[in-house]
Amino acid sequence: MSEIRLALKEDIPSINRLLIQVNNVHAYLYPSIFKKDKKKYSDIDLEDIIINKSKTNPILVYQEANQVLGYAFLIINEIKENNNLQYRKELYIDDLCVDSSYRNKGIASLLIDEVIKYAKQNKCTEITLNVYLDNKVALDFYNKKGFKPLKSIFEMKI
């Protein structure tokens, strides 16, 4: 049986394994930016997010047969109206990963569907995320799920 739920403290070892997998995809594509076999969050960071910030920074996990096979790190940002900006409440997907052995089985789609549901429940006006341009698999996936490019970040190596 499978389910998508909020992460628990005991999920940290599985989340760590997935954090390293997704980081290594980036390290392969951009070795000048990312270090191989590292992860974005420490165990202390993960515990803090899971225990203290699950309302504004939830981690959703996909679990099947008592194994965490995917996650979505979410951040809710409220942008206040001001002189030039409209009010927005965005749900930012900070990180999404499915275990490399279980990709192309619809798990990422299930996670995104749950993210959309979560965003609607929390009255978010949009969902945003960042994708590196050389990550063609991710770009294709997000395009198929209905995401559209919003802006570009340019870089010049010197």
Q: Mind giving me the DSSP string for 89-113?
A: EEEEEEEEEE-GGGTTSSHHHHHHH
pLDDT in tens, 69-125: 999 999 999 999 999 999 999 999 999 999 999 999 999 999 999 999 999 999 999
Does the domain at 2-144 match CATH 2.40.40.20? Answer given as: no
| Domain limits, the chain | 2-144
Residue-wise pLDDT for 3-59, tens only, equals 999 999 999 999 999 999 999 999 999 999 999 999 999 999 999 999 988 778 999
Query: Is the distance from CB of 40 to CB of 49 less than 8 angstroms?
Result: no
**Angle at the Cα of 92 from the Cα atoms of 88 and 95, rounded to 5 degrees:** 175
Mean pLDDT of the chain: 96
pLDDT confidence of residue 140? 97
Could you tell me the end-to-end alpha-carbon distance of the chain, in angstroms, rounded to an integer?
A: 52
Strands of the sheet containing 59-64, edge to edge, are 2-6, 59-64, 67-79, 88-98, 126-129
pLDDT attached to residue 54:
74
Q: What percent of the chain has pLDDT over 70?
A: 100
